[in-house]
Amino acid sequence: MQSTTMSDQHTTFAGQSVANSEPAMPAEIGPYRIVRTIGRGGMGIVYLGESSLPKRQAAIKLMLTDRFDTEGVARFRREMDVLARLDHPGIARLFEAGSLSDEGGNRPWFAMEYIEGQSLDDYVREQKLNHRQIFGLVGQIAKALHYAHQRGVIHRDIKPANILVDRQGQPKILDFGIARLSEGGEAVGIKTRFGQIIGTLAYMSPEQFSGAHQADVRSDVYALGVVLYQLLSGQLPISIGTTSLLEAIKEVTEGRRTPLSERQPQFKGEVELIVETACQRDVEHRYDSAASFAQDLEAYLRNRPLSARKPSLAYVFGKFVRRNPLIAGALALAVVSLVVATIWSSIAADRALRAELAATQRAQETEAVMGLLTDAIREAAPDQARGKDLRLSEVLESLSQSRMSDVAPGVGIRLRETLFESRLALADYDAATLELDQLDKLCGSDASHPSCWLNGARRGRFLALAGKSEQALPFMQQAISTAKTRTDLDPEILKGLEVEYADALNQTGQSEKSIALLREIIARPAAPGTLDARKQLQRVNLLSDALGEFGKLDEAEQALARAIPDAEAALGADHPTVILARNSLITYRFDRDDYAGAITEFSELLKVAEQSLGPEHRVTMTILGNLAAARGMNREFDAAVALFMRRDEVFAKRYTRDWRSRLNNIVNLASMQIQRNEFQEGLDRVDGALKAVPADASLSPEWGNALNWRATFLRRLGRLDEAEAQYRELIGKFVASFGEGDIQLTRYRMRLAGTLVDQKNFAEAQTLLDQTLPILIETYGESHNTVIEARGYLDQIKAAAGK
């Protein structure tokens, strides 16, 4: 296949005049012996040439004649200048250039890499690539485009014919004949005449019709989005017939675009979202760079959150559960533990008050709060109850019910702060929000108290920990803005606010912004003697988490590995923050499928946590869950079940309000019990955990997974009517909470179809399988267990029909 196309051949409306005669094929051009003609266009011809030193083949582009207008010659030479800037495996390389004097005049030429391959659309069609393979291919092209954009080159004519795929499957971008150069943000090079259109109409972005000087890197993103649409559907999003130029332009800029899912229903959801974001008519709503486009393509393939979607925490965590279903619960708990253990337990109240309250007032308030706490302990532990362990929740309940009318406003504010922080640390979100409401009321009557301005930040932190990070962001932003106006504020308080904001950004899928902010905070100079090893490691841990979510796993692991030794030297190896960081570092073994190594390291770390923190500490439970997950992934099901059961017993006894974490543990345990045919035991545990879910709670990924496992256990027990009802309830709640288009919903419907097959309700089962099987095949491929399961149900239906 020819390695180079001619841009002017496809410049339908450029209005170039060309010579009618063509000079004879030369025997040599520069150091190249000419073998044959491999392509031609209106302005030039491409030959296959061979050189002896170095020995190689090249595609040599030679201008047909030197009698073209000045602009035509400039465009030809401009392509040489463009190619000279670029050296990337995804772009055809320039070897050398020169001029040839013959009957056609003094004609410029350049030699470039000769590529044996197929055009992009032919390659996809002949190789019968599925949509995931197409995403991988287009992602490589987007990265090559980004490389060109970083060097000031905008292609302006991206289309399948200008992209070849070589025999190794490497795509190569060709034909930079109408590319535009920019230096320092200003366009340089060829200017187009008024009314002249450069490019291929069907792939051109709307802004290019207002003059090529309007095009920027997003114009290439648009064209590549159209290419992706075409590869997935076999058609273009906008149909351009044999109309006039003005009518064709109007069709591109204003006409109806056929949604991808209208032509290919299986792509409704994330696939369509990515395509639509790439080729948005409004440049401000388009991917802002080819790199962003490539990152979302990779995010889809890795089951990570998309930047194109404004993600809810349910969406972000749902993607994580699908990616790592066994360790999701454990890692979610680790994040909660990490955040709760950060700056807020002491900074928000202690540092702010130490900086701004007079010593006498602070001492009085502290003494009063301690007195109330002592009274609360006495009331929660009457004489007859002595000798038994006193729970912190009982003390907090007694303290919350203390008479507040007898205390000064400042003391009441300090008390509610204490209660709020304690409730939050126990994951008792319902009680925490009540304390926060009371704190807002107190601050309303005493707004001068120096701690009250932090209430917005507390509200944001509460919302983030309760799974509502999107709602948390505005509160956090406002708190940061306020903090920056306070010249007398301890800088560490501002850092603390920004760290929590960065974590919330990561939880809502904005990992790139989170990474940038955390890097800046970590690098920010600290006042002498104020650098805290614990906080620094916590921040690096959060940065590592964000890097991992962004797909930069090696960098994430390296950041933690560098930070841990210094923190160990300052804090000790048994410090909770160090233990959590080491736990995070070990989890990267999962990405390398090194389960045996993870088991060894988690086991050693678990001993350290049990000895230093206690066998039921939250951090200990985090490591225990990860160890169980690693044993499960290593197919040590009996050992995994024992560990998950131990963890569930602790949650059922000590962390009764944290129903989300317990449900995650139950889901992990269920996946093990199903392997051991422990159906009734699994059902009982799921039912026990579901009882802790608040009646008014909206569907969460944890809850959805638990309901799915409940239906699975009912089905395995032969309670088919109950299983059917459970699946229908789950599907209804899922659609109401998240809408259509999620692959989890497709899996739930497929499982409902299996239950209907068990009930001999073949007609409805057939309908559901006809809807779900194509989507499952496109998502997972023919060999995936889920697809095999669905085909098994179809075989049962066919067998029943043949009887």
List residues forming the annotated binding site for ATP.
Answer: 61
Question: Distance between CA 75 and CA 77 in Å, rounded?
Answer: 5
On whether the CB atoms of residues 665 and 648 are closer than 8 A, the answer is: yes
Q: Which two tokens stand for residue 381?
A: 């532990």
CB-based burial, 443-454: b 16+ in 10 Å, e otherwise: beeeeebbbbbb
**CB of 746 closer than 8 Å to CB of 775:** yes
Residue with tokens 């051949």: 9
Q: Residue 781 to residues 184, 424, 711, 774: CA-CA distances in angstroms? A: 46, 44, 25, 10
Closest by CA position to 400, among listed 425, 379, 381: 379
Q: Kindly report the backbone phi and psi dihedral angles of residue 32, in degrees, each rounded to the nearest multiple of 5, phi listed first.
A: -105, 135
Q: Are strands 117-119 and 28-29 parallel, antiparallel or unpaired?
A: unpaired
What would the DSSP string read from start to end of 732-789? HHHHHHH-S--HHHHHHHHHHHHHHHHTT-HHHHHHHHHHHHHHHHHHH-TTSHHHHH
**How many CB atoms are located within 10 Å of the residue 130 CB?**
16
H runs (alpha helix) in 488-532: 491-507, 511-523
Q: Is the dihedral of CA 279, 285, 289, 291 positive or negative?
A: negative
Distance CA 591, CA 300 (A): 17
State residue 178 phi and psi, 5-degree precision: -115, 20
Strand order in the sheet with 171-173: 117-119, 163-166, 171-173
How far apart, in whole angstroms, are the C-alpha atoms of residue 531 and residue 522? 10
Annotation: binding site: 61
**Residue positions counted in the chain:** 803
CA–CA separation, 116 and 677 (whole Å): 55
The tokens 């704190």 sit on which residue?
Answer: 439
Smallest CA-to-CA distance from 178 within 198, 148, 196 is with 198
- Taking the C-alpha atoms of residue 204 and residue 116, their distance in angstroms, rounded to an integer, is 27
Say if CB 713 and CB 727 are below 8 A apart: no
Instruction: Report H helices in 243-351.
Output: 245-254, 260-263, 270-278, 290-301, 313-323, 328-340
